[in-house]
Each structure stands twice: as C-alpha cells, then as structure tokens.
Structure 1
C-alpha cells in the first residue's frame, strides 16, 4: 500500500512503532487508525489543559453533562477528558440512589449542591436527566414527578447559564446491537462485571421505552440556550475525540 508522508511520520513515531510491533498480526490500516487516534487525543488533551487554565484564572464555572444508554461509553470519555487536567480544579459527579431526605426535597437540590465553584469544571456522569429517561422507564418516579421535572428543567438550566456557568449537554448514542455486544464484554470480564446493575440487565428488553422517553427529552429540552450534542458512540475512539472537540469549540478559552 502507498503511504503518505504524514502516515509514514506517524508510523515512525515512538507511539507508532510501539503500536506496530505490539501485535503478532500487523494490519497497517488498523495501526494507522490507532496511532492517529492517540496523536489526536494527546493534541486535544493539551488544549484541555489550556482550557482549564483559562477557567481557573478567570474564575469561570463549567458544567458538562454526559447522558446516554447504559454502556454507551460515557465514563470512558470522561476519563480521557480528565486524564491530564489538574484534579484540584475539577470533579466527577456520579450520584447514587437518592436518600429518603433527598427524595422529599426539591429534585434539583442535590444537583445544585454539586455545581462548580468559581475556577472549577464539574462532569456529571448522568445528571438530572435521569428523571427524563431512566426513572420513568424503570418506574423510579411518578408521572407527576416526571411532568414537574420536564416543566422546570429548561428554566433551571437557563438560570445556570445566566449565573455565568457554561453548560454542555452530551448524549452518547449507540445501537441496540452494540449495547448487547458491550454487555457481553462486561459480563465476560472479571474486571468489569461490577458495572452491570439490575437496571442494565433490563436495558435491552426496555429498548423501545428508553427510545420513547429519549425522543421526548430531546423534543422538550433541546433549547437554544442549552442544546444537546448527540455523539455517535458506536466507535469509542471517535466518540471521545468528538466530545473533546465539542468542548474546545464551545468554551472561548
């Protein structure tokens, strides 16, 4: 095969040579794809450091939501985004099931308690949008609670933005076939089995119900002030790059 000068440079790099010789069976196109991903990822991670420095110096506040079906790759994307930035100035929020006190307070209150201080970025690995999809599908909330949430969420997000907070909303989208494949991989891995919850176990059977509520969520909450960024997440590397590139393009660092 004929390689461009750029491709030869990538293959001859330290990462390229390591990738080329780590497997017995060598596929140049696959090696190039992996090396290019690593190269682009590192370049974007350097920009994320610059973005975070801008946030810190300017006392800016950033909230980034990661939503999507189970096994869509939200956590993996967050790990790549936060891999090299300063851990003292960001936090990852993945809230557990609400306590009895939290169930009786205003729904948004426990999320408000996690919002960023000036100079901080907060990543929500699932967010208040649990109430838009996961909770109604699994009967974790009443119809009334769902309707109240849907009537309040746009105003809540508008207030966030008006208080000088940058808000980015990601939805990682995967196919039913890809989700089934990832579930099999998780179950077959001793290191990943803990990821499977009772909710995950029902996700395939409830696929259509999730779709229905997801589409309603987009219809109501894809606003001009807080639009959704839908990421095709069937391929994890490209999904991670697209997410980082969108963050870099959305915040004027």
Structure 2
C-alpha cells in the first residue's frame, strides 16, 4: 500500500512539473511557427547555439532563482528598476515574459507606457515615469523607458534638438537621484543585427498572430537603421554612468539572450533564500446540514475539448 501511495504521489508531481513545462513550451511553439512565405529565408538562419533541453533546464533553474530574489527584495524592502531598451523586435518582450512567468505579479510588475497624451507632453519629461517607480519590496520592469527621447523620439522627429540635449543633460542627474533614494537602476540594451531584424519583421508581416506587434513606427525604424545606430552610440556615450551603467545583451540568439540576461540580473543583487515556516493545510470543515445545490447547465462553459 505504501509503495502504491508513493507511486501515486510521484505520478502527481510529474503531472504538475509537466504542466509547468508545457507553459513554456507553448511560448516556444509560438516562437517557432513559420509562415510558408518565410521557409526559404529561414533556411539561411542560424540555429540556436544552445541545446533545447539545456535551455529549458536552465530557464527553469533561473526562474526558481528569480522567485528567491523576489522574496529577498520583499524581505529587505529593496527597490529595483530594470530598463529594457533596444531596437524593435530585439527580444525585450521575450525576456520580460520569462522573468515574470513564475514570480508574484503583485510585487514584480511590467510598465509599458503608450505614446504620451497631449497633457503629458506639457509635463516635465520624466514625470509620467516617476509615478511607476517602485516602493519598498517591489521590482519594476520598464518595457521601454525614458530613453525613448534618446531613441525613437529623436530619430522620428518627435523631439527637437533642444529637447534631446536637455534630456542628455538631465538624465544622469535623474538616475543618480534615483540611486541616492535607494533604487537600484539596471539598464539593458538588446542588440541584434540588421539581417536578424529583417527576418523578425518578415515573421510579423506574414504571421497573423504576430501582426499586432508591427506598427508603422517599426517599419520606419528599418528605413532609419543607421540614424538609430548613431543615436544609440551617443546615448551610450552620454548616459553610461557609474551609478547606472548600460549592459548590452547580444540578442540574435533568443534563447541565449534570455538566459544571459536573467543570469546577469541575478548576479547584480546579492540575495539569500528566505527561510519559510512550514505550511500546514487545515482540515476542511464539513457541515452535515449543508447540501450542495444543482446549478442549471446553461451556467457552465461547453466542454468543447
């Protein structure tokens, strides 16, 4: 009987682990879907340099460490801001998705702001970002940030030369002020080649599920590739400060980029595993006089599967 119970427990745990694995697998299948129009182009693309099994094992391990890191941030009342910048389709969203996949969304949240409103355009430039900064025990991930002014706004002509110069003059002081207030500021730039961005844009053009990711602004970024490059180089030169340095993530290989970025983020914060009290599931209280009602069938979702 004991052996049967152990086998039953093992089977249940296996199913639970498979469910976790499937969640990541669903995303991988989505990444790998290939429209017929791109099959020939895809033949010339390099395969990921990391073994698929190793990738999944390392991703699960790193995500487990992220949970420990989050517990530590909450326990110590730390405040963490992580900026994700880079060219369109460079892989920022994929990394953010893997970072947030297993952690508590109440204390690790993503900020992805739309274009500023008419009112926000009249505010101090950093004002709309300040309200999203973390309180004690929080991690905030910015999917694009105040560096829009040094990139897309500058290249697309939404900010004039004077506004860009004001930004470059102000942003080091702004970030130093954040650091002095106790916020850890981490800045990542995801770098991909011209050829890789072209392939990813073509995927979005021909894949109905991914077309929402492609905006007119993205298409113009292809035209202005070299202007973005010059803007990026000046941004690094003028905003790579000791208190908040830039870290470049090589993004052509998505799997390597995800693992490298997460591993690096974990290395920046010395954390320890927080001891937890043993959790005991209380016994359910049964009321002998209660009889469960039979609900009408139209309340139930049809079992199509």
Q: Normalization by structure 2: what TM-score? A: 0.73
For 2:76 and 2:159, the matched residues in 1 are separated by: 39
For 2:222 and 2:50, the matched residues in 1 are separated by: 34
Unmatched 5+ residue regions in structure 1?
Answer: 1-13, 23-28
- Relative to 1, partners in 2 of residues 1:32 and 1:157: Cα closer, same or farther, differing over 3 Å? closer
Q: What's the secondary structure of 2:106's corresponding residue?
A: helix
Query: Is the CA contact (8 Å cut-off) linking 1:166 and 1:251 kept in structure 2?
Result: no
**Partner of residue 47, structure 1:** 65
Q: What's the secondary structure of 1:204's corresponding residue?
A: helix
For 1:223 and 1:125, the matched residues in 2 are separated by: 21
- Corresponding residue to 2:113 among 77, 95, 120: 95
Q: What's the secondary structure of 1:190's corresponding residue?
A: coil
How far apart are 1:30 and its partner, in Å? Answer: 7.7
**Partner of residue 89, structure 2:** 71
**Partner of residue 3, structure 1:** none
**Partner of residue 227, structure 1:** 245
Query: Is the CA contact (8 Å cut-off) linking 2:149 and 2:159 kept in structure 1?
Result: yes
How far apart are 1:165 and its partner, in Å? Answer: 0.7
For 1:87 and 1:76, the matched residues in 2 are separated by: 16
* Coordinate RMSD, CA, aligned: 1.9
How far apart are 1:94 and its partner, in Å? Answer: 0.6
- Relative to 1, partners in 2 of residues 1:101 and 1:30: Cα closer, same or farther, differing over 3 Å? closer
How far apart are 1:32 and its partner, in Å? Answer: 7.4
**Partner of residue 155, structure 1:** 173
Unmatched 5+ residue regions in structure 2?
Answer: 1-17, 30-46, 272-305
| Residue 164 of structure 1 pairs with residue 194 of structure 2 | no
For 2:215 and 2:125, the matched residues in 1 are separated by: 23
**Partner of residue 246, structure 1:** 264
For 1:231 and 1:122, the matched residues in 2 are separated by: 19
For 2:256 and 2:54, the matched residues in 1 are separated by: 11
For 1:54 and 1:249, the matched residues in 2 are separated by: 14
Q: What's the secondary structure of 2:51's corresponding residue?
A: helix
Q: How does 1:1-253 map to 2 (within 5 A)?
A: 33-253=51-271
**Partner of residue 8, structure 1:** none
For 1:78 and 1:63, the matched residues in 2 are separated by: 13
How far apart are 1:109 and its partner, in Å? Answer: 0.4
For 1:208 and 1:128, the matched residues in 2 are separated by: 21
For 2:92 and 2:48, the matched residues in 1 are separated by: 24
For 2:50 and 2:99, the matched residues in 1 are separated by: 22
How far apart are 1:31 and its partner, in Å? Answer: 11
For 1:52 and 1:108, the matched residues in 2 are separated by: 26
For 2:66 and 2:50, the matched residues in 1 are separated by: 24
How far apart are 1:202 and its partner, in Å? Answer: 1.1
For 1:40-92, what per-residue CA distance to the aligned partner results, in whole angstroms no more than 9, with x for missing partners?
A: 11111110000000011111110000000000010010000110001111210
